[in-house]
Amino acid sequence: MGQIQLNQVTKSFGDTQVIPPLDLTIHDGEFTVFVGPSGCGKSTLLRLIAGLEDITSGHIDIDGTDATDVVPAKRGLAMVFQSYALYPHMSVRKNIAFPLRMAKMDQAEINKRVEGAASVLNLTDYLDRRPGQLSGGQRQRVAIGRAIVREPAAFLFDEPLSNLDAALRVGMRLEISEMHKRLETTMVYVTHDQVEAMTMADKIVVLHAGVIEQVGTPLELYRTPRNTFVAGFIGSPKMNLITGEEAAKHDAHTIGVRPEHIDVVESGGQWRGTVGVAEHLGSDTFFHIHNTGLAEMVTVRAIGDVSLKHGDTIHLTPRADEIHRFDAQGLRIA
């Protein structure tokens, strides 16, 4: 069981309020991702849930009981840190066993659980090594092992993959997702990488300057972003946000079209411009288009390898049913 509920939670450091009053419910078994640019308060929010920072006002309920003044050790949550935070003077076995030792668990049971976690995480051969003798990916596995052995009410992940190289990150992403499917435990995951958020989450919480901009499933955020911030943050490459005359044509202050929702056509087309940088990924090509007569540069995603070069003229048509409209406050117009 691991339902986490934040009620009117705020956090200030001195005179600076980093989290204005915030309400959020994380349901039992849900994989929730906090995503946002750096400095948006997502890590602080996670640390408030963990109890590593004291909240300034409001209260936090874990499993229906008020945990606001409960010390981290007693909240029944496990955390995986960005730096792994392994105990350098202990072997892998002792690292994983540490929370069980602190819980004064029976030695036979500790051994059983450590061996179990090690075999799931492919760490059996490394149990007697020190963290310093392991690779980054292995250290990350030890950190996860240390979290899962105690069978916590919820797992908290603080940017756990950002110290890994790109290939390893994709692999670990899958492993964590699979672990979630298998354990069905609540997980709260902090990242600045919207791809990680989109691929792993059941529910995404988009944060900006301590404020929740939107909460929803990955596809809800993709299809119906509540405001221009979410529209620009979710999706890669970024949504084109266009203001001015073109937006006025749609009765909006700003319109948004995703690069994948603009078709490249032979001639005619609604917009015409010159190709700037073309990024060829093989499976698709990203064109950055200038001189369209629009105030902003436009990014277009074409499927496959389209052979247009720098300086070529390109004709574009945005799909009418995929145009998002926003008002002067940046809020979505239904």
List residues binding another protein (CB under 8 A). Answer: 50, 52, 71-74, 77-79, 81-83, 85-89, 98-99, 102-103, 146, 150
For the bound state, the minimum distance from the C-beta of residue 63 to another protein, rounded and expressed in Å, comes to 17
Give the position of tokens 């934040």.
6
Which pair of tokens denotes residue 184?
């069905």
Select 143 or 316, whichever has its Cβ closest to another protein: 143
Give the position of tokens 């730096």.
83
Query: What does DSSP say about strands 298-303 and 284-290: parallel, antiparallel, or unpaired?
Result: antiparallel
For the bound state, the minimum distance from the C-beta of residue 75 to another protein, rounded and expressed in Å, comes to 8
Which pair of tokens denotes residue 17?
């309020």
Q: Residue 239: helix, strand or coil by DSSP?
A: coil
For the bound state, the minimum distance from the C-beta of residue 81 to another protein, rounded and expressed in Å, comes to 5
Q: Is the peptide bond before 225 cis (omega within 30 degrees of 0)?
A: no
- List Cα–Cα distances, 299 to 41, 192, 247, 271, in angstroms: 29, 22, 17, 12
Give the position of tokens 């075999």.
119
Select 143 or 255, whichever has its Cβ closest to another protein: 143
Q: How far apart are CA 32 and CA 205, in angstroms?
A: 7
Q: Is 299:290 a contact under the CB 8 Å cutoff?
A: no
Buried (b) or exposed (e) across 267-281, using 16+ Cβ within 10 A? eebebbbbbeebeee
Q: How far apart are CA 169 and CA 174, in angstroms?
A: 9
Q: Is 296:241 a contact under the CB 8 Å cutoff?
A: yes
What is the CA angle 43-224-239, rounded to 5? Answer: 75
For the bound state, the minimum distance from the C-beta of residue 239 to another protein, rounded and expressed in Å, comes to 35
Length of the chain: 334
For the bound state, the minimum distance from the C-beta of residue 25 to another protein, rounded and expressed in Å, comes to 22
Q: Is 87:95 a contact under the CB 8 Å cutoff?
A: yes
Select 90 or 168, whichever has its Cβ closest to another protein: 90
For the bound state, the minimum distance from the C-beta of residue 267 to another protein, rounded and expressed in Å, comes to 59
Select 87 or 295, whichever has its Cβ closest to another protein: 87
State the alpha helices, DSSP H only, in the chain. 42-50, 92-102, 107-120, 136-148, 166-183, 194-200, 218-223, 228-233, 245-248
For the bound state, the minimum distance from the C-beta of residue 83 to another protein, rounded and expressed in Å, comes to 5
Select 104 or 181, whichever has its Cβ closest to another protein: 104
For the bound state, the minimum distance from the C-beta of residue 53 to another protein, rounded and expressed in Å, comes to 10
Give the position of tokens 């672990």.
179
Select 118 or 316, whichever has its Cβ closest to another protein: 118
Select 156 or 262, whichever has its Cβ closest to another protein: 156
Select 80 or 198, whichever has its Cβ closest to another protein: 80
